């Protein structure tokens, strides 16, 4: 791992020139505009002009666990421009753009601990590294994806409290999955070296901003049980994140990932989309646009009805498991496609996950299946041959293949998501001495900021907003300059 004398762990520092060229290209695609006042700098870049001179994040130490991509590099360097210091790891073993990581380290924009192809042990070690600030107990703020690092902190505190109380710790015989096993063993090993590391980190941490639907589900469970120890901002449910990144971003990166991984003809194929939330909607749209016959599986009757009225069939997985050519999981749940399902599938069907983590497709189960034969076709494309004679092709080992097999969501839509992340960091940092946000609770950014993010991107699309008169604003009970919708409005 080359680090150019700057504390980091990356694949190859020599990739920095390539990375810098592509980061500059990404910057031009992360647009929007609010007025000539900001010199035509757009979107995420406009935030640098708006808040950079005041260094609104000066003194803030930010740790991040979010895929180290070209787009994330623009986010990181925006946070730095606003005055923050940054340590960063990836939320996915296979999503790191090594040349982007090299560029960030070479310019000393952030301490990066990420490379493409990390093992599970390396992944959790990198996550631990982002909390090991050399001059303090930990970060002030955390940007998380999937709540992995939030859970790492809370589990660390739980084990430290148990150890302090009893002088021992409970080492479970069975774990929820491989990820939790490795994380727990790492925490327990660290207890022998420092008994209050995670407690100190938790005490220092001002707040977190969570990026994903799955991560928000985890936080909500923790908050409901009274276990969430910090204040949190739900970036995922900003409209300019969930309705744009999740739907329009996945709509493009889904097809990009499948084509790069397999080059398969989509037209005429029967494609099953498991889940019809925002991600599933985007996936279904693009598959139908490419000529596929789309079937949706859903547990939610409202989402199921939406799928029907969009012209899709809605069936149980068991009804179509023997018929489909491609299966895409986008549910945010676990064990959606099991080994029992795979036993019944056609030969050489393609299985890809664009939903949560690596839990939706039971890859661990298929690896342990008696008599299974695994053939690696190319990086992150594996064919598993069953003793019955048929095979299934699994993309990216069940992780988000749109990130691993392709470049993830495009820069334009990530500019929306990451503008929300910057605003969340500013909110948490500038209100750190106030009682605006309570520990243990989850907040959404004000709609005024949501609308601002959208405004920052409209100029790039040559869009013109209609301006309300005062009479019109009064009639629909809003301000002339917004916000225009109530908090309960569903876009």
Q: Which residues pair with 143 in a beta bridge?
A: 64, 209
Q: Rounded to an integer, what distance in angstroms lies between the CA atom of residue 418 and that of residue 410?
A: 12
String of DSSP letters for 257-270: HHHHHH----TT-E
Q: What is the pLDDT of residue 245?
A: 92
Within this chain, do residues 385 and 420 fall inside the same structural domain, yes or no?
no
Q: Give the predicted TM-score (pTM) of the model.
A: 0.92
CA distances from 299 to 241, 277, 344 (A): 24, 11, 22
Q: Which residues pair with 328 in a beta bridge?
A: 273, 352
Length of the chain: 491
Edge to edge, the sheet with strand 207-210 lists 111-113, 85-89, 61-65, 141-144, 207-210, 231-234, 442-443
Within this chain, do residues 375 and 334 fall inside the same structural domain, yes or no?
yes
> Is the pLDDT confidence value at 274 over 50?
yes
Q: Rounded to an integer, what distance in angstroms lies between the CA atom of residue 257 and that of residue 242?
A: 20
Lowest mean pLDDT among 105-119, 189-203, 320-334: 189-203
The structure tokens 């209050």 sit at: 196
Within this chain, do residues 116 and 182 fall inside the same structural domain, yes or no?
yes
Q: What is the pLDDT of residue 100?
A: 97
Residue 186 falls inside a structural domain:
yes
Q: What is the pLDDT of residue 345?
A: 98
Burial of 355 (0-12, 13-18, 19+ CB in 10 A): buried
> Is the pLDDT confidence value at 294 over 80?
yes
Return binding residues for NAD(+).
277-282, 298, 402
Residue 458 falls inside a structural domain:
no
SS3 state of residue 32: coil
SS3 state of residue 470: helix
Q: Rounded to an integer, what distance in angstroms lies between the CA atom of residue 164 and that of residue 174?
A: 23
Residue 255 falls inside a structural domain:
yes
Closest CA to 408 of 149, 25, 67, 12: 67
Within this chain, do residues 253 and 213 fall inside the same structural domain, yes or no?
no
Residue 3 falls inside a structural domain:
no
Portion of the chain with pLDDT greater than 90, in percent:
82
Q: Rounded to an integer, what distance in angstroms lies between the CA atom of residue 384 and that of residue 394?
A: 8
Residue 229 falls inside a structural domain:
yes
CA distances from 188 to 130, 136, 154 (A): 18, 22, 13
> Is the pLDDT confidence value at 388 over 50?
yes
Q: Rounded to an integer, what distance in angstroms lies between the CA atom of residue 54 and that of residue 436?
A: 22
Within this chain, do residues 172 and 276 fall inside the same structural domain, yes or no?
no
Backbone angles phi, psi at 335, to 5 degrees: 50, 45
Q: What is the dihedral of CA 481, 485, 486, 491, to 10 degrees?
A: -150
Residue 475 falls inside a structural domain:
no
Within this chain, do residues 443 and 313 fall inside the same structural domain, yes or no?
no
Within this chain, do residues 236 and 326 fall inside the same structural domain, yes or no?
no
Closest CA to 3 of 105, 133, 144: 105
Q: What is the pLDDT of residue 36?
A: 36
Q: Which parts of 159-300 are beta strand (E)?
A: 207-210, 231-234, 270-274, 293-297
SS3 state of residue 144: strand
CATH for 379: 3.40.50.720
> Is the pLDDT confidence value at 440 over 90?
yes
* Number of domains observed in the structure of the chain: 2
Q: What is the pLDDT of residue 149?
A: 96
Q: 173 lies in which domain range? A: 13-242+409-453
String of DSSP letters for 7-26: S-B-S-GGGHHHHHHHHHHH
Q: What is the pLDDT of residue 42?
A: 56
Q: What is the pLDDT of residue 488?
A: 86
Are 231 and 432 in contact by the 8 Å Cβ rule? The answer is no
Q: Rounded to an integer, what distance in angstroms lies between the CA atom of residue 259 and that of residue 221?
A: 37
At what angle are helices 43-51 and 447-458 packed, to 10 degrees? 110
SS3 state of residue 310: coil
Residue 483 falls inside a structural domain:
no
Return binding residues for substrate.
69, 145, 211, 241, 245
Lowest mean pLDDT among 250-254, 272-276, 460-464: 460-464
Query: How confident is the model over 108-153, as pLDDT tens digits?
Result: 999 999 999 999 999 999 999 999 999 889 999 999 999 999 999 9
Within this chain, do residues 155 and 261 fall inside the same structural domain, yes or no?
no
Query: How confident is the model over 96-112, as pLDDT tens digits?
Result: 999 999 999 999 999 99
- The last residue of one of the domains, among 369, 387, 404, is 404
The structure tokens 């790891």 sit at: 89
Portion of the chain with pLDDT greater than 70, in percent:
95
Burial of 132 (0-12, 13-18, 19+ CB in 10 A): middle
Confidence of residue 179 (pLDDT cuts 50, 70, 90): confident
The H or E element spanning position 349 is strand 349-353
Q: What is the mean pLDDT of the chain?
A: 92
- The last residue of one of the domains, among 420, 436, 453, is 453
Q: Rounded to an integer, what distance in angstroms lies between the CA atom of residue 386 and that of residue 485?
A: 53
Within this chain, do residues 260 and 238 fall inside the same structural domain, yes or no?
no
Q: Mean pLDDT over residues 383-405, rounded?
A: 96
Query: How confident is the model over 8-25, as pLDDT tens digits?
Result: 999 999 999 999 999 999
Return binding residues.
69, 145, 211, 241, 245, 277-282, 298, 402
Q: Rounded to an integer, what distance in angstroms lies between the CA atom of residue 406 and that of residue 67?
A: 13
CATH for 77: 3.40.50.1480
CB atoms closer than 10 angstroms to residue 475: 10
Within this chain, do residues 209 and 331 fall inside the same structural domain, yes or no?
no
Within this chain, do residues 387 and 428 fall inside the same structural domain, yes or no?
no
Residue 486 falls inside a structural domain:
no
Within this chain, do residues 150 and 105 fall inside the same structural domain, yes or no?
yes
Cα of 102 vs its chain's centroid, Å: 21
Q: Rounded to an integer, what distance in angstroms lies between the CA atom of residue 156 and that of residue 269?
A: 47
CA distances from 175 to 18, 103, 172, 482 (A): 41, 38, 7, 49
Pull the structure tokens for residue 179.
């990820």
| b/e per residue 393-405 (b: at least 16 CB within 10 A) | bbbbbbbbbbbbb
């Amino acid at each position: 791992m080359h680090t150019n004398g700057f504390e980091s762990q990356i694949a190859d520092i020599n990739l920095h020139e390539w990375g810098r060229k592509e980061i500059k290209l990404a910057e031009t695609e992360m647009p929007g505009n609010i007025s000539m006042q900001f010199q035509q700098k757009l979107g995420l870049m406009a935030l640098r002009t708006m808040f950079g001179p005041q260094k609104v994040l000066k003194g803030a130490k930010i740790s991040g666990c979010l895929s180290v991509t070209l787009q994330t590099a623009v986010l990181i360097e925006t946070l730095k421009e606003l005055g923050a210091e940054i340590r960063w790891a990836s939320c996915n073993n296979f999503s790191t753009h090594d040349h982007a990581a090299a560029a960030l380290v070479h310019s000393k924009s952030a301490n990066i601990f990420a490379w493409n192809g990390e093992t599970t042990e390396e992944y959790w070690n990198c996550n631990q590294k982002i909390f090991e600030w050399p001059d303090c107990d930990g970060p002030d703020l955390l940007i998380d994806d999937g709540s992995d690092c939030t859970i790492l902190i809370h589990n660390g505190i739980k084990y430290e409290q148990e150890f302090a109380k009893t002088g021992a710790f409970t080492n479970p015989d069975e774990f929820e999955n491989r990820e939790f096993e490795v994380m727990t063993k790492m925490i327990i090993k660290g207890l022998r070296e420092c008994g209050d590391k995670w407690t100190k980190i938790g005490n220092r941490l001002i707040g977190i901003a969570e990026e994903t639907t799955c991560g928000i589900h985890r936080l909500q469970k923790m908050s409901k049980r009274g276990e969430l120890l910090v204040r949190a901002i739900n970036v995922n449910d900003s409209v300019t994140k969930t309705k744009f990144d999740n739907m329009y971003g996945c709509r493009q990166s889904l097809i990009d990932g499948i084509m790069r991984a397999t080059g398969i003809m989509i037209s005429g194929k029967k494609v099953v989309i498991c889940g019809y939330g925002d991600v599933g909607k985007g996936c279904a749209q693009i598959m139908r646009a490419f000529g596929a016959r789309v079937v949706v599986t859903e547990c939610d009757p409202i989402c199921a009805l939406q799928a029907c009225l969009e012209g899709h069939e809605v069936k149980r997985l068991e009804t179509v498991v023997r018929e489909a050519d491609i299966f895409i999981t986008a549910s945010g749940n676990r064990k959606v496609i099991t080994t029992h399902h795979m036993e019944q599938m056609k030969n050489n069907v393609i299985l890809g996950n664009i939903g949560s983590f690596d839990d939706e497709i039971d890859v661990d189960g298929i690896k342990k299946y008696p008599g299974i034969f695994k053939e690696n076709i190319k990086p992150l494309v594996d064919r598993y041959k069953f003793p019955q004679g048929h095979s299934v092709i699994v993309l990216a080992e069940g992780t988000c293949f749109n990130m691993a097999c392709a470049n993830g969501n495009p820069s334009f839509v990530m500019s929306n998501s990451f503008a929300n992340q910057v605003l969340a960091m500013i909110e948490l940092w500038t209100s750190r001495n106030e009682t605006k946000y309570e520990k243990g609770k989850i907040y959404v950014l004000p709609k005024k900021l949501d609308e601002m993010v959208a405004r920052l991107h409209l100029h790039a699309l040559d869009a013109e907003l209609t301006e309300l008169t005062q009479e019109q604003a009064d009639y629909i009970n809003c301000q002339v300059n917004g916000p225009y919708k109530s908090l309960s409005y569903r876009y």
